[in-house]
Every structure is written in structure tokens, then in C-alpha cells.
């Protein structure tokens, strides 16, 4: 069982104002809350963050009433919710007073969208020079697309991700999770923490410009370099790896497994296990480069053998032979996996009414302590009176 990070929060004392909705901005805010920051989520009194209604499924309380959609709870753990309408003068005044006490503002409005309310970085930095503002948009603060709305699905397509995802003869595919949003939230946290360190040293804040398009392109990693090295755009390979073989899904008698061979020694061991001892000396397969070139032939030879094995038996045999492998789990299987259970990745957090809200902790351990906030996502406006009272108290 992991310990709570409550006693040792590295970002304790840092205040974050979250003027963000849906996923990328709230994901960054949740990570900061998990690390101990006081994250105040600003929501419109009429409905709040739209993901509160993005269900089913909904989380239900002990009384059977819905406590917002599961989607909302996936990305708002540990925050305080303040319901104000900053299109009004009074609402703008509240945001400015909060910004004067804050270290960070996260916002995901269209470029220039907050300036008309006097809540953009320049306006707030005039009140609080050490303020770090992180603006998250689809395409960034500059460039010909800066005024376009940015949606994760569209970004996955435009940045090239979908061109290398899916079966060669099938449609280009998006990921099963909004990875452009999630990656942007993670990159945003790194940028925010770097800017905070500088602000603590110099007293000078900054404006961070995060674009989903930039992030999705940057996250293409080796696929980017494959193109830059050759001038040829990578293509879809299904579950095969563009640079390594065999590193793929492979068929068994009762399902599929992943075999991830990363060097010649591992290749020799999988060949011995499958009674294909001659393959490592075959010029077509003797090196990784040769195996990539002759991937189709190699896959045929391996599959002929693996189809004779039961899935779990082959996984166990590969583990014994020190060949990297693993099953393809459903999400239900993953949560039941003994490694996930041992690492206590699922946490159940109690709200003020005593409802248990399921959650998945931040995947960070600090000196053996799990980085996870100790309270679930807030109800709409749950902390408005509390936060306003703090402002009055100074």
C-alpha cells in the first residue's frame, strides 16, 4: 500500500488558478494538485466545466444521485471549485484578486480571448509580476492557424500521428485516448515548474505558450527522425515497429501476445524457444536491420510456431527465457493485474459527503510516497464561499 503524499507535498504553498476546461489544462492542474499545489478551478455557475455532463457513465453518490460524469472526475482530482462568471465586472474582480495571490494561471481560451476581460497575462502580470501564466491552445499564440479552435482528434490527424497508426490497408487511426491533450498537459507541467523555479529565483514570471499541434508533432519521437533522416514519410505498420523486428503483436492458439525483441541475444532466445534455432544464422535475420527488411517472412515463420502455443503458456515461457513479452489486457484485466494492484494505482477518495470516488493516482513516487491528492474532484462551486472568505481575510 502506498502512503499519501499529504505530509510531504513538494508544491505545498503554490497557488494555481485554473481557467481551463475539458482535458489539457485540467490535466496539468490535476498533476499540480497531486504534487501539493492549491489548485482553484474557476467554473461558470451555469453548468461549470462541460465535461461534468460528458456521460454516461456518471459517478453516483451513496444516495444514487449523479456526481458528474466519470470523464470530469478523471482530470479534476484535488482541486477547489469556485463558481464565478468572469464576463461580469464582479467576476473579473474576483479573478484579479485571486491572481494577486497566485503563482500560476492555467487558461485554454482562444488566442486573445481573455484580453477583452482584462484577464490576459499582461493584465494579470501588472498586478502580480511573478505570475506564471500557461496558455494552452490548439495551434499556439502565433502562426496562420492561431485563431482556429483545436480539438485533439483533429490535431492527431494534422500532426502526422494518424498517418503511422492503424493497419496498412485500413483507415488511419487515432489513439484510444486523447493523447494530444494528455501530452500537452504533461509538457505544460514541466514548463510551469521550470518557470516557477525561475520566478522564485528572480521574482519574474512569464507567459508560457503551449500548442497541441506542437506537442503532438514533438511526441512523434523516432518517427520524426526517421523522416528527417531519409526524407520519406513513415507509413502505417499496424502493430509492427518501424525500426525493430520482431517487435509486434503475434498470434497464439487462443489469442495474441506482444513480443518485443530489442537485440540479437533476445532474438536467439525466442528462436530457441520456438525451435527455430537456424534463424539467427540466416543472413535474412542475423541482424536487426536484416530482420526489419525481411519482416514479413520472419513474421510468417514465427507465427507458424506461436499459433501452436496457448497465450499464457507462451508468455510464461518467454519470461523464463528472458524474452520481453506480455499479454494484451483489457482495462479490466489491467486493473486486476497483480503489479497494478501492488502499486496501488487505483485510489478511492472520499468527498465531503462521504462518497467514495474512484480515481487513478498520478504515476509518480517520491521517496516511496505516491503523488496523489487526498480528495476527489470538487462539486460545482463547492469552495466558492471558502475561497472568497480567504480573500476577505487577506
Question: Would you please indicate which residues are annotated as catalytic (active-site) residues?
Answer: 181
Angle CA 82–84–87, to nearest 5: 150
67, 357 contact by CB (below 8 A): yes
SS (H, E, C) 15-66: EEEEECCCCHHHHHHHHHHHCCCEEEEEECCCCCCHHHHCCCCEEECCCCCE
Cell of 39: 489548485
Distance (Å, whole) CA 31 – CA 29: 5
Question: For residue 163, what is the DSSP state?
Answer: G
Question: Residue 39 forms beta bridges with which residues?
Answer: 16
Q: Which secondary-structure segment (H or E) carries 248?
A: strand 247-252
Q: Is 205 helix (H, G, I), strand (E, B) or coil?
A: coil
What does residue 41 show for φ and ψ, rounded to 5 degrees? -90, 120
Residue 66's closest CA among 380, 385, 383? Answer: 380
Question: For residue 140, what is the DSSP state?
Answer: -
Whose grid coordinates read 481573455?
114
131, 16 contact by CB (below 8 A): no
Q: For the chain, how far is it from start to end, CA to CA, in angstroms?
A: 39
Distance (Å, whole) CA 95 – CA 394: 15
Angle CA 155–157–161, to nearest 5: 95
Residue 5's closest CA among 32, 39, 42? Answer: 32
What does residue 191 show for φ and ψ, rounded to 5 degrees? -65, -40
Alpha-carbon dihedral sign for residues 349, 384, 93, 23: positive
Amino acid at each position: 500500500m502506498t502512503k499519501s503524499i499529504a505530509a510531504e507535498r513538494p508544491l505545498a504553498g503554490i497557488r494555481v488558478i485554473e481557467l481551463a476546461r475539458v482535458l489539457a489544462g485540467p490535466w496539468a492542474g490535476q498533476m499540480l494538485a497531486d504534487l501539493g499545489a492549491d489548485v482553484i478551478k474557476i467554473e461558470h455557475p451555469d453548468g461549470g466545466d462541460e465535461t461534468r455532463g460528458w456521460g454516461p457513465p456518471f459517478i453516483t453518490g451513496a444516495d444514487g444521485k449523479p456526481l458528474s460524469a466519470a470523464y470530469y472526475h478523471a482530470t479534476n482530482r484535488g482541486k477547489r471549485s469556485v463558481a464565478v462568471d468572469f464576463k461580469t465586472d464582479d467576476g473579473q474582480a474576483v479573478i484579479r484578486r485571486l491572481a494577486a495571490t497566485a503563482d500560476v494561471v492555467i487558461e485554454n481560451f482562444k488566442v486573445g480571448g481573455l484580453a477583452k476581460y482584462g484577464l490576459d497575462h499582461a493584465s494579470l502580470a501588472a498586478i502580480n509580476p511573478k505570475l506564471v501564466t500557461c496558455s494552452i491552445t490548439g495551434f499556439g499564440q502565433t502562426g496562420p492557424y492561431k485563431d482556429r479552435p483545436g480539438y485533439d482528434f483533429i490535431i492527431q490527424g494534422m500532426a502526422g500521428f494518424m498517418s503511422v497508426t492503424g493497419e496498412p490497408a485500413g483507415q488511419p487511426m487515432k489513439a484510444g485516448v486523447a493523447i494530444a491533450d494528455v501530452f500537452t498537459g504533461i509538457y505544460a507541467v514541466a514548463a510551469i515548474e521550470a518557470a516557477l523555479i525561475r520566478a522564485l529565483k528572480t521574482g519574474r514570471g512569464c507567459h508560457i505558450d503551449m500548442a497541441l499541434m506542437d506537442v503532438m508533432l514533438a511526441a512523434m519521437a523516432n518517427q520524426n527522425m526517421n523522416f528527417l533522416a531519409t526524407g520519406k514519410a513513415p507509413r502505417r505498420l499496424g502493430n509492427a515497429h518501424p525500426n525493430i523486428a520482431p517487435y509486434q503483436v503475434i498470434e497464439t492458439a487462443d489469442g495474441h501476445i506482444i513480443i518485443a525483441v530489442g537485440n540479437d541475444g533476445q532474438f536467439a532466445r525466442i528462436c530457441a524457444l520456438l525451435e527455430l534455432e537456424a534463424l539467427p544464422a540466416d543472413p535474412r535475420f542475423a541482424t536487426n536491420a536484416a530482420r526489419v527488411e525481411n519482416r514479413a517472412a520472419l513474421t510468417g515463420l514465427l507465427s507458424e510456431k506461436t499459433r501452436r502455443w496457448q497465450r499464457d503458456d507462451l508468455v510464461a515461457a518467454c519470461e523464463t527465457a528472458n524474452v520481453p513479452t506480455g499479454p494484451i489486457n483489457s482495462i479490466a484485466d489491467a486493473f486486476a493485474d497483480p503489479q497494478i494492484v501492488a502499486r496501488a494505482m487505483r485510489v478511492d477518495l472520499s468527498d465531503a459527503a462521504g462518497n467514495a470516488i474512484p480515481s487513478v493516482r498520478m504515476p509518480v513516487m517520491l521517496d516511496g510516497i505516491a503523488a496523489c491528492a487526498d480528495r476527489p474532484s470538487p462539486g460545482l462551486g463547492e469552495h466558492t464561499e471558502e475561497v472568497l472568505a480567504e480573500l476577505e481575510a487577506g
